[in-house]
Structure 1
């Protein structure tokens, strides 16, 4: 009975008097891990209630303790975490001849073992006050009176257990109030609106069609430069293809609900849209492509979680910290590895979400001087990215993007608009693909002679251009220039790979050429 009393008195002393916190416990509550801090030094303390006759049984338990260390490390954020393992028993093992000492292990983390017994043995067991001195505690140990009955030991044990449990429940209630402050309303509304916009775009022309995306508000630098600043916000509700929609919706469902619970709905709205704005601004400044998606706002949720971790570091790492950092690192690495991913928007959203969280701060937390500095800094940073996007001409006038848009315009018979874009490209630089598409535009307008000139310039710029040779062959045949048509057809066969030859329908052209030659 006294050993149980001693065990719970030890746990009680650490939790109630020294403000240690229970972070893990076995189902029978006989092995308890506590987190304690002594003058800035983080400690992980394991208190174990055991009754072992032989040291080999203790050594087996020590192995289990060492196996738990990696998991405990993830719960306590510290570079120099110190581990202690304290056994409480009625008697020491019969083959324990000396006091336990500091031991190394496979984790390369030393762990100090102690053995406290109901009936201490000189030079073999440790006294509670000696253990507390090693831990660097503030309060001294109060010895258990000798004349306490078994019922008295049970009453003390029950009292210490009850008070420890009450303190732990109080701490857990505080944690829950931080993690579960609000309800998740806005996240579900955002998900529904994003799904609705995807449905509308699919009906209008397809979510992978660039012209449709631009029409519905995707981030398109030239349009933003023309004053359509609202694209910074509308682009975060559009998605390119179902897979893009599914992955972002899944991420928003998990991250958005977590952030909205922590910060509340109003703060979450502010964080989400500021993060989305920063993502769009970063994309505007560093990426010339048409872009869409909630990725910037979603990375802003990562930023909000990191800010929470900055304010409540222990709770963050005890609950979600390593998982959040691991998933964030994977996503950023994927963005750097895959060129098609707009990583600028991701990083911009991450920074924006962190700054927005710092501006509104966490619920039930007093505002401090930090907010007075962060708000103007956020504004200056946003203005700087916008200014960079305006001055960076390479980002707003991308030939590859303009060529893609011109090609889609031609497919929709928007010949005049396509021609204007292509002429704009050619004013700045010669480009074989631009000459080729301009030739196609002139054919749609019925201007065969000028189209012929454009195709000739295209093959001059790029001698390995089978599509341009193909169109030249057709035009030469229409103009009755059979010998030149034959030469162009020969170039088509020389420059075409099997797949291109199949797409160009070489057999049909060869038949037509044979008929014209007869």
Structure 2
């Protein structure tokens, strides 16, 4: 008996002059404007980093009646709502290019932040004021590829884009930084256990835990070592599990050196803020996990299309655990967690995503100065 093949979603594009024109425009946006195909049958493209448009539609749908315009209005509203809900874009901007519209209507009835362009030929496209103003490079683009050429060109651009995204989202395939952090926690704990149990030196934890006296004596390394001091075996296990879970993903996104840098930013601010605002300073690595989660959130915001859904699936279960933990934990730990959150965010911005071009070096410098200011003020406040 033959096995039934699983159903596969397919679509068909039939040749016509309008389809050829539309696909030539698609090819231009893929190749020259760094857009990618978001919905192939609808010819919907996205580039959430584009300065003018988040989405571009190249539509061959017949717009020959008022009913068709009403349908278009509802569709655009639905798309905008989905973009806001799924990818956290408050009011996505859309360019809608129609190659089959022969009805005049008031474009103001379309949703906000939607530009409507109606064309019938390449000449119409190249003479349209919106297209010329927003995409001047289109004047020199080849928009006369044949139907058979376009399938190969679009497939090629799609493959190149996927390779580019994979390289951006997987900066390192062999992360070891998170293993280093876990190992430091474990080795530190075992050394304390040896001193406390076998040597009966119960105060050996103190030289590495954050205290006002220690900082006054010049032991500024306590702002680092304090995060590697575990209260008990349960705190150590929790820190190891969450560091492994979130740390590996963070390191793959940022690379080992940036990952360790973000952890260091989180450690520094977590301990300095705790030093300033609490009398019994929190120690342990768990707050730093919040800094790593923040770094993943920052990357997900920048790569919404590819990471936002994964980020939600990864973090939503953790949020429940965090709220339970926050409910039963102390004020001191909440302060340490808040500092780690801020440190992780600032560290992510300052160090940046490896293969994402920074729009402003000055912005990163200002964030670094802000971080150093918070760090310094916190330490000085704690010493008073």
Taking structure 1 as the reference length, what is the TM-score of the superposition?
A: 0.52
Note closer, same or farther for the CA distance 1:386–1:290 as it changes in structure 2 (3 Å cut): closer
Once the two structures are TM-superposed, the CA of residue 24 in structure 1 deviates from its matched residue by 1.0
Note closer, same or farther for the CA distance 1:52–1:201 as it changes in structure 2 (3 Å cut): farther
**Partners of 1:103 and 1:281 in 2: how far apart?**
53
Q: Say if 2:56 is the partner of 1:45.
A: yes
Which aligned pairs between 1:231-310 and structure 2 lie closer than 5 A?
231-240=222-231, 244-245=235-236, 248-302=239-293, 304-305=295-296
**Partners of 2:105 and 2:217 in 1: how far apart?**
76
**Partners of 1:369 and 1:282 in 2: how far apart?**
25
**Partners of 2:178 and 2:254 in 1: how far apart?**
12
Note closer, same or farther for the CA distance 1:43–1:225 as it changes in structure 2 (3 Å cut): closer
Once the two structures are TM-superposed, the CA of residue 279 in structure 1 deviates from its matched residue by 1.0
Which aligned pairs between 1:142-161 and structure 2 lie closer than 5 A?
156-161=146-151
Higher relative contact order (Cα pairs below 8 Å, separated by 6+ residues): 2
Q: Which residue of 1 aligns with 2:383?
A: 390
Q: Which residue of 2 aligns with 1:22?
A: 36
**Partners of 1:263 and 1:100 in 2: how far apart?**
49
Once the two structures are TM-superposed, the CA of residue 219 in structure 1 deviates from its matched residue by 3.6
Q: Say if 2:175 is the partner of 1:188.
A: no
Q: Which residue of 1 aligns with 2:153?
A: 163
Match 2:125 to one of 119, 125, 129 = 129
Once the two structures are TM-superposed, the CA of residue 52 in structure 1 deviates from its matched residue by 9.8
**Partners of 1:140 and 1:71 in 2: how far apart?**
33
Once the two structures are TM-superposed, the CA of residue 340 in structure 1 deviates from its matched residue by 1.3
**Partners of 1:231 and 1:58 in 2: how far apart?**
66
**Partners of 1:111 and 1:370 in 2: how far apart?**
30
2:59–2:97 CA contact under 8 A, matched in 1: yes
**Partners of 2:246 and 2:142 in 1: how far apart?**
50
Once the two structures are TM-superposed, the CA of residue 189 in structure 1 deviates from its matched residue by 3.1
Match 1:70 to one of 73, 81, 88 = 81
Note closer, same or farther for the CA distance 1:30–1:282 as it changes in structure 2 (3 Å cut): same
Unaligned stretches of 5+ in structure 2?
1-14
Once the two structures are TM-superposed, the CA of residue 301 in structure 1 deviates from its matched residue by 2.8
Q: Say if 2:335 is the partner of 1:344.
A: yes
2:80–2:91 CA contact under 8 A, matched in 1: no
Count of aligned pairs between the two proteins: 354
**Partners of 1:57 and 1:202 in 2: how far apart?**
74
Match 1:9 to one of 21, 24, 30 = 24
Taking structure 2 as the reference length, what is the TM-score of the superposition?
A: 0.67
Which aligned pairs between 1:423-438 and structure 2 lie closer than 5 A?
none
2:24–2:143 CA contact under 8 A, matched in 1: no
Q: Which residue of 2 aligns with 1:317?
A: 304
Name the SS for the 2:53 alignment partner: strand
